Structure formats: C-alpha cells, structure tokens
Amino acid sequence: MFRGAPPETPVPDRRRSFDSFELTPLTPHIGAEVRGIDLAKPLSDAQEKDVRDAFREWMVLTFRDQQLTRDQHKAFARLFGRLHSHPMHAGKHHGDDDEVLPVRTNADSKWTSGDGWHTDVTCDAIPPLGSMLYVTETPESGGGDTLFADMSLAYDMLSEPMQAFLETLTAMHDGAIPYVGAYKTTPPEGGYPKNEHPVVIRHPDTGRKILYVNAGFTSHLVGLAPAESRALLDMLFRHIDSTPRLYCRVEWEPGTLTFWDNRCTQHHAVWDYYPYSRYGERVSVFGDEAPSL
Ligand code: SIN
C-alpha cells in the first residue's frame, strides 16, 4: 500500500561539514561515508572530536581507503572503550584472538554472520556500544552489502499510544537463538548469555528514544501471554522489515571500515553472493552502562 501523505518525521538537522575529513551522507537520516582520514595513524584531538561528533549524529560511519593492521584496527576501537569479547569465543568457535570476530564467508559456509536484522550481542547484560567491521575481501560477483536501520526513527514512527505501551515493557534477549539456533554452535559451559532489557531505551549521549527489540536475539516480551508477545514482536519486526526509510546501505570495498552505533541501530548482512567469498574482521567496544530508558 502506498503511504499517500508526507512523512511526519522530517529530515533531521545533522552536521555535514567537518574540518578533519570529507563526509558524504548515505541518506538524510542515517549513515555517512568518510574520506580523507587515515585510521592507521594516531588521531589528533581535533580529528578524534570530529569522529565522535559525526558518529553521534550519523550512527553509521563508513571510512574508505583504509589499510589497517589488526593492531591499528584495535587501537582505533580502543578510543571508544574497552574491547569486547564475543560470546562465541567462550566456546572457541571463532579464531584465536578473543577481541576479533572474523567474518568469513565462502562456498563452504553454512551461514554468514548477521544475515538477518539484529543488534550485536543484545544477550549480554551490557551489549557493545559499537562495532567496527574492517572488510578486506569483497565478493567477485559484487554484493555482500550491509543494511543499517535507525532504531530511533523506528520508534518515532510508531503511534503515541503504542510508544507509551512499549515503554512499560521489557524483553528477554537470548544468545542461544542465533548462536545455537542459526549457527549450530555448541554453547560454552553454563550456556550463552540471556538478559532482559527495556523495550524502549534512551541513547546515553543524544537522549533520543530507541526501539530496542531485534529479531536476532529477542525471544519474548516479559509478562505478556506467549501469543500476545509473539504478535507484538512480529508487528515490530515487520515495521523494521517494511520501512525502507529507516535504512542506509553500505557497499563495501576492500579497505572499508564501518563503525556503527550498536545502541541505536540494527543491521542485516545481505548474503547474495554465494558461492563467492567475503572477509572482514569485527572489533566491538564494550558499552558503559546497561540499556535503560
Ligand atoms: C555482523 O556483524 O553482523 C556482520 C556484518 C557484516 O558482515 O556485514
């Protein structure tokens, strides 16, 4: 059905001009491409401030033309906090460096990381503040893009009564859903993490409200009957799936690093390149506080 009316959520006023680099928005709401800054070198105070400001405003920053060692990748991530270790490392499913999640897909892959809408590791009590994926190999066939969705805009687009109701709820986020259900890994002793978070949270820096449930990890809404929980989650997941205005699309090149704000976005890695190969490494940064409203 066509909408037939102007959007009630107008284009936000976001900064497009920075002294430290050239920024080109991917869409008016979310995502920007950044050129003219070398992340392999230590950033000056002015560069770091500009990166922080642009990150806060655009939520997804795609840095082009980078050539990073693993240590340089980690050093850039450490500017934003302590490095996170993915729960799948606890079961030794993912390489030898606990601070790096390899994202490798080829003709032998049974799955690729993140092939469905999700926020990273919301099964943790304090999920990562952000993740940085550095891609060094893109599929010869083309494809392998990643979609990112603005979850503050997703919240803003709901009706006021629905917003008010959702603000009263919490949801369970269960690591077994992706890591066992989809990826078929054996859980570590004690199982993968499972935690409850508010359905609507507030961004600690911008104060914007965020719809905080995702199809990757959210098992149910606490306190509702199973059928009510399923119907409401399905409605919210359909809202995300069926609203293109929420998205930007990152087209990777070898040497692209994308840094996303994991508190206010979801992403979906598109596996449209089978049997070709794609490779990147993801480093995530710990959040400072549990998600809250
Ligand atoms: C992920 O972190 O979910 C993977 C993203 C991607 O491969 O583009």
pLDDT, tens digit, 9 for 90 and up, residues 65-117: 999 999 999 999 999 999 988 777 654 555 678 899 999 999 999 988 899 99
**Quick one: pLDDT at residue 288?**
86
- For residues 186 and 91, is the Cβ–Cβ distance under 8 A? yes
**Quick one: pLDDT at residue 94?**
58
**Quick one: pLDDT at residue 7?**
84
**Quick one: pLDDT at residue 98?**
87
**Quick one: pLDDT at residue 15?**
94
Which residue's alpha carbon is at the smallest distance from atom 6 of ligand 1? 269
What is the three-state SS of 57-88? HHCEEEECCCCCCHHHHHHHHHCCCCECCCHH
Cα 247 to Cα 26, 200, 268, 274: the distances in Å are 9, 19, 10, 23
The verdict on residue 11 lying in a domain is no
Q: How large a percentage of the chain has pLDDT more than 90?
A: 82
The verdict on residue 13 lying in a domain is no
The verdict on residue 14 lying in a domain is no
CA–centroid distance for 147 within its chain: 9
Nearest-5° Cα angle at 83, 21 to 56 = 40
The CATH number of residue 119's host domain is: 3.60.130.10
Q: Specify whether 118 is catalytic.
A: yes
Asked if residue 291 has pLDDT above 90, the reply is: yes
Task: Say yes or no: CB of residue 133 within 6 Å of ligand 1.
Answer: yes
CA–centroid distance for 189 within its chain: 27
- For residues 175 and 125, is the Cβ–Cβ distance under 8 A? no
Stretch 43-69: mean pLDDT: 98
**Quick one: pLDDT at residue 287?**
87
Question: How far, in Å, CA of 126 to CA of 207, rounded?
Answer: 18
In total, how many domains does the chain have? Answer: 1
- For residues 259 and 58, is the Cβ–Cβ distance under 8 A? no
Cα 240 to Cα 51, 103, 164, 212, 237: the distances in Å are 28, 24, 18, 11, 5
**Quick one: pLDDT at residue 93?**
52
Residue 128's φ and ψ, nearest 5 degrees, are -55, 145
The verdict on residue 6 lying in a domain is no
Which atom, in ligand 1's list, is nearest to the CA of 101? 2
Mean pLDDT (the chain) is 94
**Quick one: pLDDT at residue 86?**
77
**Quick one: pLDDT at residue 172?**
98
The pLDDT tens digits of the residues spanning 151-193 come to 999 999 999 999 999 999 999 999 988 888 788 888 788 888 8
Task: Say yes or no: CB of residue 146 within 6 Å of ligand 1.
Answer: yes
29, 89, 94, 120: the catalytic one is 120
The verdict on residue 192 lying in a domain is yes
**Quick one: pLDDT at residue 90?**
57
Stretch 20-35: mean pLDDT: 97
Ligand 1 pocket test target in 94, 103, 250, 258 with most atoms within 8 Å of CB: 103
The verdict on residue 49 lying in a domain is yes
Task: Say yes or no: CB of residue 114 within 6 Å of ligand 1.
Answer: yes
Domain that holds residue 196: 22-285
The verdict on residue 8 lying in a domain is no
Q: How large a percentage of the chain has pLDDT more than 70?
A: 97
Q: Specify whether 267 is catalytic.
A: yes
Signed CA dihedral, 287, 288, 290, 292: sign only: negative
Q: In what order do the strands lie in the sheet with 146-150?
A: 247-250, 146-150, 265-269
The pLDDT tens digits of the residues spanning 122-155 come to 999 999 999 999 999 999 999 999 999 999 999 9
> Residue 193 Cα, ligand 1 centroid: separation in angstroms?
20
